[in-house]
Amino acid sequence: MLASSLRREELLALDAETILRRLFWQEKLLRLESMAGDATPHFSCTCSRERVRKTILGLGADEAQSIVAERGEIEVGCDFCGAQYRFDPIDVTQIFSQTDAFPPSSTAVQ
Ligand SMILES: [Zn+2]
């Protein structure tokens, strides 16, 4: 479809961005569902840099580092409030060097 008009690296970057967005949205949708019982229709965004950091962590080191290699940074935009979160190579390295971000062995599924 559009693939032929895009350079390969752009396509890869776009794809990674889509993955980030999808992960981000899943979490938001879950949160919205949990708030459905609340009669108050106010709409506040719960995004945060910490949340995006965990999303990047969920991508995996290889994927995240490949985005940094292609773009020089990882930039994630919130579709709700429009906030932009940028992670430079140092940030990304720190994300994956903080092993305590992972819960103890419970999620280590074979
Ligand atoms: Zn937001």
Helix (H) or strand (E) run with residue 89 in it: helix 89-97
Band of pLDDT at residue 80, cut at 50, 70 and 90: confident
pTM above 0.85, yes or no: no
Distance 5 CA to ligand 1 centre (A): 31
Asked if residues 55 and 27 have their Cβ atoms less than 8 Å apart, the reply is yes
Report whether pLDDT(90) > 70. Answer: yes
Distance 83 CA to ligand 1 centre (A): 5
pLDDT at position 33: 60
Report whether pLDDT(68) > 50. Answer: yes
Distance 9 CA to ligand 1 centre (A): 27
Band of pLDDT at residue 105, cut at 50, 70 and 90: low
Distance 107 CA to ligand 1 centre (A): 28
Q: Is 52 exposed, middle or buried (0-12, 13-18, 19+ CB in 10 A)?
A: buried
pLDDT digits (tens, 9 = 90+) for 8-37: 666 666 666 676 776 666 666 666 665 555
